[in-house]
Chain A
């Protein structure tokens, strides 16, 4: 069984500072990795995904993430955050479980940008 761990439930950051949101997963097989963002009172929006190839993936709004197979991590980063980045961020893993595709989410990290 797979699990996704987001190590920080809340991350407060000052505007224009860099940020890293951590995500670790446990899986014995190849997985697809995703980061989703949920702005207040809205649905989920895909930020970026790793399927294969380059381990550094770039997404929307200036975010990027690096897949590290040896450390089973997929941390999300942004070099300079903006007030509008305040949201809940979810790391997710998709793999085949008993013949079915399953997307499993981490607990979420609430990113708060302070002026």
Chain B
């Protein structure tokens, strides 16, 4: 199974600032995703991170607010821009490992915006 690490594991940020979350996978994967889990709620897909091209965003999420990079098959970043308290959530990186037909999740980044 894929091993996924995320940095930072948690952060407390001020309103109006931006935070970049890193996701590193121990093997090459074709598909990487970013999810948000708001307090006490389920997971919502933000976008699919495409290697070498722009990310594909879900309804309600835009590139200006959540820019994503994916420079290679093992790494991606998600930036939460111009943060407000409503952005306080856990952000999770996920990969689809085709050989197992399974989707694995990173440990998450717990973000608190004051």
Question: With A43-B108, A100-B56, A101-B31 given, is the CB distance from A51 to B101 under 8 Å?
Answer: yes
> In the assembled complex, which residues on chain B have CB atoms less than 8 Å from the CB atom of A45?
105
What is the interface size of chain B, counting residues whose CB is below 8 A from a CB of the partner? 20
Contact pattern, A 29-48, Cβ under 8 Å of B = 1, otherwise 0: 00010101000001111100
In the complex, whether A7 has a CB less than 8 A from a CB of chain B is no
| From A42, A49, A106, contact of B102 by CB (8 A) | A49
A107 within 8 A of B: yes
A49–B107 CA distance with the chains assembled, in angstroms: 20
Query: Does the CB pair A90–B42 fall under 8 Å?
Result: yes
- Residues in A neighbouring B96, C-beta threshold 8 A: 101
Are A107 and B42 neighbours in the complex by a CB distance under 8 Å? yes
The answer to whether A11 has its CB under 8 Å from any CB of chain B is no
Residue among A36, A43, A104 facing the most chain B CB atoms (10 A cut-off): A43
Q: What is the number of contacts between chain A and chain B, taking CB atoms within 8 Å?
A: 41
> A96 an interface residue at 8 Å Cβ cutoff?
no
B43 interface neighbour in A42, A46, A105, Cβ under 8 Å: A105
Q: Is the CB of B42 within 8 A of A44?
A: no
Cβ-based interface call for B67 (8 A)? no
1/0 contact trace for A90-105 toward B, CB 8 Å?
1000100000111111
Q: Which of chain B's residues 81-114 have a Cβ closer than 8 Å to chain A? A: 92, 94, 96, 101-108
A90 to B43, Cβ gap below 8 A? Answer: yes
Q: Does B53 contact A (CB under 8 A)?
A: no
Q: Which residues of A contact B92 (CB under 8 A)?
A: 43-44
Contact B103–A94 (Cβ < 8 Å): yes
**Chain A interface (Cβ < 8 Å from any Cβ of B):** 32, 34, 36, 42-46, 49, 51, 90, 94, 100-108
